[in-house]
Amino acid sequence: MLSFDDYLLASERGRLPMNFKAMTILLFFFLLIAKTQAQSAPTVVSIDNFSSAHGATVTAPIFITNVENYGTGTMSITYDPVVVHALAVSSGPDSIAFGNIDNTIGIVKISAWNIAGVSGNIIFANITFKAVGSAGNSTPLKLLNITLLNTSKKDIPKSVNDGYFYIEDDANSSTPTPTPIQTSTPTSTPTLSPSPSPSPADSTDGGSSASFETNSNPSSSPTSINTPPAPAPTSLASFAPSPTFSPAIPLLPSETAEAKANVTPASTSGSVTPRGKVVPGFETTFACTTLLIAYLLLFRKGK
């Protein structure tokens, strides 16, 4: 492989290898193309397209891209004053700007500068527009009379890209949809309907037995929506103990009067047990009947 010293010696004698000659020529062309492309990148002054609803305001920046050593500049922007009005001119981060606004004819004249100079992509100035026209109207935003100078007071070549402003239709604006409010349905309270029906019945063996029937038919049809159920009322049923009677007249061992009182409470449903009612005077009637039976038995025995 050819060393660097051999390369220098060969170059002095004018006898470089073919591969080194080819590499040198290619490197020269690459440098030439890169320089040409760097010089051919144009400086562009542009403003974007904008849209808003009637009465809204929009801030529109004026851009300068691919600028080298920007120092100062002036330009005008025209528009239709029936569609938009210019409200203010403000500076960008790399350019101090002032403007003269005339909404009668629709023009803004702007002057801006950067004493230290700046290169690259910058914001020349900002313009605040207000949409004053009707929905569907539009106007071109044209950049005219542009002058750009570098810090050496030399002109900077540039190209221009204009924009436009469009007023949106009101139908494009979204309207919030109201949210329905949920309402709860009234809840019915369960009701209890106890219906006691006592029915005394005579026994076939000369005694008597009392039976009580108590029907408890609670009916409830509660309907609730997101409502805790109402507590069910509970009623306690209390029944008197079965009465026991002793005959006042002594009875013979073979003949015994039996007094039976059977109280049969009705079945209850659930946790609700209604209280039964006793027929008034039943105890007195039962005692008299027992005494009458005992008297008849004694009377028959006496015969």
Q: Is the pLDDT of residue 296 over 70?
A: yes
Q: Kindly report the backbone phi and psi dihedral angles of residue 85, in degrees, each rounded to the nearest multiple of 5, phi listed first.
A: -125, 140
Question: Is pLDDT at 139 greater than 70 in this prediction?
Answer: yes
% of the chain at pLDDT higher than 70? 48
pLDDT on residue 303: 58
β-bridge pairing 194-202 and 57-78:
unpaired
Q: Is the pLDDT of residue 140 over 90?
A: yes
**pLDDT of res. 101:** 98
Q: What is the mean pLDDT of residues 133-153?
A: 97
Q: Is the pLDDT of residue 41 over 60?
A: yes
Least confident window among 10-14, 128-132, 178-182, 299-303: 178-182
Which residue type, as a one-letter code, is found at position 74? Answer: T
Confidence band (pLDDT; 50, 70, 90) for 50? Answer: very high
pLDDT above 50 (res 13): yes
Give 288 or 177, the one with higher predicted confidence.
288
Residues in contact with 86: Cβ distance below 8 Å, sequence separation at least 6, in sequence order: 79, 99, 101, 103, 108, 127, 128, 129
174 vs 116, more confident: 116
Q: 69-124: per-residue pLDDT in tens? A: 999 999 999 999 999 999 999 999 999 999 999 999 999 999 999 999 999 999 99
- Tens digit of each residue's pLDDT (9 = 90 or more) over 191-242: 555 555 544 444 444 444 444 444 444 444 444 445 555 555 544 444 444 4
Structural Rg of the chain based on CA atoms: 57
Model confidence band, residue 298 (pLDDT cutoffs 50, 70, 90): confident
In the chain, the domains with their CATH numbers are 43-171 (2.60.40.680), 193-213+249-268+275-303 (no CATH)
Q: How confident is the model at residue 20 (pLDDT cuts 50, 70, 90)?
A: low
Residue 290 confidence (pLDDT): 83
Q: What is the pLDDT of residue 256?
A: 44
Average pLDDT over residues 255-274: 43
| 58 or 20: which leads in pLDDT | 58
- Residue 187 · residue 206 · CB < 8 Å: no
User: Tell me: the pLDDT tens digits for 269-285?
Assistant: 444 444 444 555 667 77
pLDDT given for residue 11 in this prediction: 56
Q: Is the pLDDT of residue 164 over 80?
A: yes
Tokens 């051919």 sit on residue? 40
β-partners of residue 112 are 73, 97
pLDDT value of residue 213: 45
Query: Distance (Å, rounded) from C-alpha 79 to C-alpha 85?
Result: 8
